[in-house]
């Protein structure tokens, strides 16, 4: 254990587990993390290696004997029949059978239904009526000849969640760790290695927790695939539910008028919509209208009565374009369905997580250190919903006067949530409060700046705050505003403009690039020749192309795949930030390692997508292609007798080697290149 892990175990003994144990015990069980960590918390909440080993075996044995796999449901049902009684771990949902005046349970994996359950159990655990809840149940089998009687009998049912916790202990133990250590503990609790993240990235991860500790918090996160946007809402807490953005009705989400039964918002702390983006998706207008009212007023009505609820709303989805492209051609909400690309709806959002800043999840990013049992942290966060820290910044700072009430609500709710997560006792230094306030303002400003693009009735707001004593004012900007100054704002005609005079001055001073005259030619390179790079060979001939096709039947080994990646790096270097370019590879399939080959191509696709490159590939199943060439949609074909494989072997593992870092220092193989106008 490192020093942080030792400190964690010293002050939170019995409440933390080693995070890599989840993978060890999970096997092929399709079960949420909080279920596994509930069991690990019972048997492995220790730092003693022998106790951990024993605990792992115990948890594995429990999962093996009691967790119900769908493909083993018949065997489990047989076990219950033969033994007469058996304990199972399964997802249970309940419905009221009006004809029988009885509540009946269904077991998701076990495949049995109509199991009678008592009214007392429903009163204790009303979420059973809304959607499935993971439970540990004792089931009995009592056969009867009456065909109307189900032989399955439920003896006991216990939802998998923490029954009690000591909040005062949590507050006191928090004081033993400094802010950096505390943030790292929380990141490890989410299952990540804090060494792989910057402080800003860690804070963005922790914003995902705010819906669990702040009532009626409206959060959106849009970004590339594979960044873990939905994981925390499906795996982290028994108090949150993740639903598909297109698979929910007004009745299911809010209230069923025919039965009077309240929907998901009445039972869950957090309701998250997965795969929310997608322009082609359609949504019920009535749902959008009720969502608007609920997100603004914490209440909803379907014409009978007005009801209130506390559920936070989260919307997560994937983007197809990079940030500068969206800023130049549309806005950062561009991917949303038409019904939700509406200023009245978007104005209800309190924080926009810039998903493009989140790293795509890689193996080394997972933690093997200690973190809270997630069920314990989930209960702590739920308890914090009763606290309000939204005004704590007012001892030191005042928000700018032209910030509207709705903007203030967004800023203050985010500020309150982050304070609860980072400083649960509500005490922080002036500098720490300023950092959280900056972050909270930025998330709301990202929403408001895009609203100005969508709806001309929204005007520019000076987001910032002033210090009470000195009256010094600080303006807050989004990171995109700093990075893409020339296209971040649009004028009344919709044209991109810069609000920074110095940017225009810098552009004016830039030397004009020399015009390059391209011509058809043939070049021959000698073995051991140096000073040759992809940029010198291809740069002028591919610059300006939006479609580039590479044909090479042999892109199979790692160094060959790396050549493709280095070619794409050149494309990124040459393109403007707001351009999107398609690069297509036509190659042969590796008959022995085709899975690894596609995995590497997928990895490249994810990496370059952020830079506006759509990397595609297809395999030549005929085996007839032999020639190697590059073709662009600006009229050039580059024939390559060796393809991109022009360099002799060099040390790819030595990060300090010049030949590894710079192509011009590599020795070449003998090769020829022909440039043809087509």
End position of a domain, from candidates 445, 465, 497: 497
- CA neighbor of 631 nearest in space, from 551, 573, 534: 551
Q: Are strands 299-301 and 306-308 parallel, antiparallel or unpaired?
A: antiparallel
Q: What is the CATH number of the domain that holds 633?
A: 3.30.870.30
Grouping H, G, I as helix, E, B as strand and the rest as coil, residue 190 is: coil
Q: In the chain, how many domains are there?
A: 4
Residues 584 and 670 in one domain: yes
Token code pair at residue 125: 């655990």
Cα–Cα distance list, 289 to 47, 317, 339 (Å)? 52, 20, 10
**In Å, how far from its chain's centre is CA 80?**
40
Same-domain check for residues 441 and 582: no
Q: What is the 3-state secondary structure (H, E, C) of 432-468?
A: HHHHHHHHHHHHHHHHHHHHHHHCCCCCCCCCEEEEC
Structure tokens at 353: 């997580």
Residue ranges making up the domain that contains 221 = 168-379
Last residue of a domain, one of 133, 159, 185: 159
pLDDT of residue 3: 92
Residue 323 located in a structural domain: yes
- Residues 654 and 574 reside in one and the same domain: yes
Domain of residue 203, CATH code: 3.40.50.300
CB 54 within 8 A of CB 83: no
38 — pLDDT class (breaks 50, 70, 90): confident
353 has pLDDT over 90:
yes
Higher pLDDT, 536 or 256: 536
155 and 172 in a single domain? The answer is: no
Residue finishing a domain among 136, 159, 182 = 159
Co-location of 400 and 332 in the same domain: no
User: Is there a contact between 139 and 85 (Cβ–Cβ < 8 Å)?
Assistant: yes
Q: Is residue 52 part of a domain?
A: no
pLDDT of residue 133: 85
What's the pLDDT score for residue 503? 37
- What SS3 state is found at 559? helix
Q: Which of 245, 247, 253 is nearest to 229 (CA)?
A: 245
Is 530 in the same domain as 428?
no
| DSSP helix/strand/coil, 77 | helix
User: Quick one: 124 and 194 in the same domain?
Assistant: no
**Model confidence over 63-76: pLDDT tens digits?**
888 999 888 899 99
Residue 231 to residue 32: CA distance in whole angstroms: 10
With bands split at pLDDT 50, 70 and 90, how would you rate the model's confidence at 616? very high
Inter-CA distances, 478 with 352, 362, 612, Å = 11, 27, 20
Q: What is the CATH number of the domain that holds 126?
A: 2.40.50
**Per-residue confidence (pLDDT) for residue 515, from 0 to 100:** 66
Q: Model confidence over 620-669: pLDDT tens digits?
A: 888 788 889 999 999 999 999 999 999 988 888 888 889 899 999 888 88
Domain presence at residue 56: no
Residue 65, in any domain of the structure: no
- What b/e sequence results for 445-458 when a residue is b if at least 16 CB atoms lie within 10 Å of its CB, and e otherwise? bbbbbbbbbbeeeb
Distance CA 559, CA 649 (A): 9
Structure tokens at 260: 């009077």
Residues 535 and 654 placed together within one structural domain of the fold: yes
Q: Are residues 554 and 530 in the same domain?
A: yes
| CA atoms of 215 and 506, how far apart (whole Å) | 46
Flag whether pLDDT at 505 surpasses 60: no
Query: Tens digits of per-residue pLDDT, 411-421?
Result: 999 999 999 99
SS (H, E, C) 514-544: CCCCCCCEEEEECCCCCCCCHHHHHHHHHCC
The verdict on residue 577 lying in a domain is yes
512, pLDDT greater than 70: no
Q: How many CA atoms lie within 13 A of 425 on its CB side?
A: 13
239 and 345 in a single domain? The answer is yes
Tell whether 527 and 428 lie within a shared domain: no
Mean pLDDT of the chain: 89
């Amino acid at each position: 254990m490192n020093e942080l892990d030792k400190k964690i175990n010293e002050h939170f003994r019995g409440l933390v587990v080693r995070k890599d144990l989840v993978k060890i015990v999970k096997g092929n069980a399709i079960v949420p993390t909080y279920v596994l960590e509930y069991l690990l918390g019972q048997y492995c909440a220790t730092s003693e290696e022998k106790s951990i080993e024993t605990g792992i075996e115990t948890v594995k044995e429990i999962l093996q004997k009691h967790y119900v796999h769908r493909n083993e449901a018949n065997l489990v049902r047989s076990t219950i029949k033969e033994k007469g009684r058996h304990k199972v771990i399964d997802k249970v949902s309940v419905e009221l059978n009006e004809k029988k005046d009885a509540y009946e349970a269904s077991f998701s994996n076990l495949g049995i239904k109509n199991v009678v359950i008592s009214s007392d159990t429903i009163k204790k655990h009303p979420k059973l009526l809304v959607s499935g809840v993971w439970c540990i149940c004792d089931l009995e089998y009592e056969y009867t000849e009456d065909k109307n009687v189900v032989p399955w009998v439920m003896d006991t049912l216990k939802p998998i969640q923490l029954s009690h916790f000591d909040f005062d202990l949590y507050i006191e133990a928090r004081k033993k760790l400094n802010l950096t250590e505390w943030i790292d503990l929380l990141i490890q609790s989410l299952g990540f290695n804090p060494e792989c993240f910057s402080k800003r990235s860690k804070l963005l991860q922790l914003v995902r927790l705010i819906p669990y500790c702040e009532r009626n918090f409206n959060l959106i996160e849009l970004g590339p695939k594979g960044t873990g946007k939905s994981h925390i809402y499906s795996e982290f807490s028994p108090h949150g539910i993740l639903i598909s953005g297109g698979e929910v009705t007004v009745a299911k989400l809010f209230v069923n008028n025919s039965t009077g039964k309240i929907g998901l918002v009445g039972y869950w702390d957090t309701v998250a919509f997965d795969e929310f983006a997608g322009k082609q998706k359609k949504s019920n207008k009535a749902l959008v209208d009720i969502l608007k009212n609920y997100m603004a007023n914490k209440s909803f009505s379907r014409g009978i009565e007005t009801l209130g609820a506390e559920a936070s709303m989260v919307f997560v989805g994937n983007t197809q374009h990079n940030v500068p492209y969206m800023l130049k051609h549309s806005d950062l909400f561009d991917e949303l369905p038409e019904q939700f690309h509406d200023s009245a709806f978007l104005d209800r959002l309190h924080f926009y997580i810039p998903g493009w800043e989140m790293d795509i999840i890689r193996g080394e990013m997972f933690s093997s250190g200690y973190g809270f049992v997630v069920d314990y942290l989930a209960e702590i966060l739920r308890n914090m919903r009763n606290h309000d820290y939204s005004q704590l910044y007012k001892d030191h700072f005042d928000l700018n006067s032209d910030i509207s009430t709705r903007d203030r609500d967004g800023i203050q709710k985010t500020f309150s949530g982050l304070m609860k997560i980072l400083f649960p006792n509500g005490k922080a230094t002036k500098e720490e409060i300023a950092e959280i306030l900056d972050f909270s303002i930025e998330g709301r400003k990202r929403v408001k700046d895009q609203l100005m693009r969508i709806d001309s009735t929204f005007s520019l707001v000076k987001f910032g705050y002033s210090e009470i004593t000195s009256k010094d004012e600080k303006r807050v900007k989004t990171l995109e505003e700093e990075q893409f100054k020339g296209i971040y704002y649009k004028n009344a005609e919709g044209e991109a403009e810069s609000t920074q005079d110095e940017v225009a001055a810098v552009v004016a001073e830039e030397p004009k690039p020399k015009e390059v005259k391209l011509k058809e030619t043939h070049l021959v390179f000698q073995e051991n020749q140096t000073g040759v790079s992809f940029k010198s060979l291809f740069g002028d001939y591919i610059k300006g192309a939006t479609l580039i096709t590479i044909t090479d039947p042999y892109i199979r080994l790692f160094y060959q795949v790396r050549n493709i990646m280095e070619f794409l790096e050149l494309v990124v270097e040459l393109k403007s930030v707001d351009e999107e370019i398609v690069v297509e590879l036509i190659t042969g399939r590796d008959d022995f390692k085709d899975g690894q080959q596609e995995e590497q191509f997928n990895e490249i696709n994810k990496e370059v997508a952020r830079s506006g490159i759509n990397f595609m590939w297809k395999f030549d199943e005929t085996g007839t292609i032999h020639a190697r060439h590059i073709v662009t949609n600006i009229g050039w074909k580059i024939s390559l007798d060796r393809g991109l494989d022009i360099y002799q072997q060099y040390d790819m593992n030595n990060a300090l080697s010049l030949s590894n870092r710079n192509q011009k220092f590599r020795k070449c193989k003998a090769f020829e290149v022909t440039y043809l106008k087509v």
